[in-house]
Amino acid sequence: MIDFHTHTLLSDGALIPAEHIRRAEVKGYRVLGLADHVDLSTMAHVLPVLCEAAARENELGRLTVIVGVELTHLRPNQFAAAARRARELGAQVVLAHGQTPVEPVEPGTNRAAIEAGVDILAHPGLLTLDEAALAAQRGVCLEITSKPGHCLTNGHVARLSREVGAKLLFGSDAHTPDQMPTRPFAETVCLGAGLTEKDVAAIFACAEQFAQAHGA
């Protein structure tokens, strides 16, 4: 399994990094992204801890841990500075907490995150065709998610991405070990979004390339 979107108790996940990593290993993960929620006030505290957790695990040569952050509930005009700062602090992958249908994420967030050049726009909800086209043009990946609530608009995201040629990635958004999917379940979620077997193969091929580009 390859998944760039999970949370530890450095934000609102359940487990410290060591147990989170071990639980993912038992679930069959090969590449695990730690992408805790941060804002401009917390990233300088969270990222050094995630970097240390990843470095300690990665020297063992078992699964590969990728350091990320999820820029969450920022004001739209803060995304560019936040994405830059996160990379300076060691984030290999920058996600944005998109306009999910189940939270009052500020309108304008999807566009601001894409324009800021995040790597992955997580759970983008009812993003517009223009935003999807901009994501395709900027190389920002759109997420298909297994997280309850956030997943309600997977079909819409899949349809728009096909229309404009935007890249898709699967992300579990797991906050607890029971939310860490097996690869077959992740594929089922993608198929449930209306994607074809060929699309799903492309999603995981893209994830593989993405992982290699980010040090896996």
Query: Where does this chain bind Zn ion (CB under 5 A)?
Result: 70, 97, 122, 173
Of residues 152 and 202, the one with the C-beta less far from Zn ion? 152
Min dist CB 59 to Zn ion, Å, is 27
Min dist CB 142 to Zn ion, Å, is 13
Min dist CB 124 to Zn ion, Å, is 10
Of residues 10 and 122, the one with the C-beta less far from Zn ion? 122
Min dist CB 169 to Zn ion, Å, is 13
- Fill in the DSSP letter of residue 92: S
Of residues 97 and 167, the one with the C-beta less far from Zn ion? 97
SS3 37: strand
Task: Report strand pairing: 93-97 vs 168-171.
Answer: unpaired
Measure the CA–CA gap between 163 and 127, rounded to whole angstroms.
13
**CA distance readout (Å), 186 to 17, 22, 72, 129, 204:** 22, 19, 24, 25, 10
SS3 145: strand
Of residues 143 and 187, the one with the C-beta less far from Zn ion? 143
Of residues 176 and 196, the one with the C-beta less far from Zn ion? 176
**Which amino acid belongs to residue 17?**
P
Nearest to 23 by CA among 161, 200, 202, 178: 178
**Which amino acid belongs to residue 14?**
A
Min dist CB 5 to Zn ion, Å, is 6
- Residue nearest to Zn ion according to CB distances in the complex: 97
Q: Which residue has the tokens 């992300």?
A: 171
SS3 33: strand
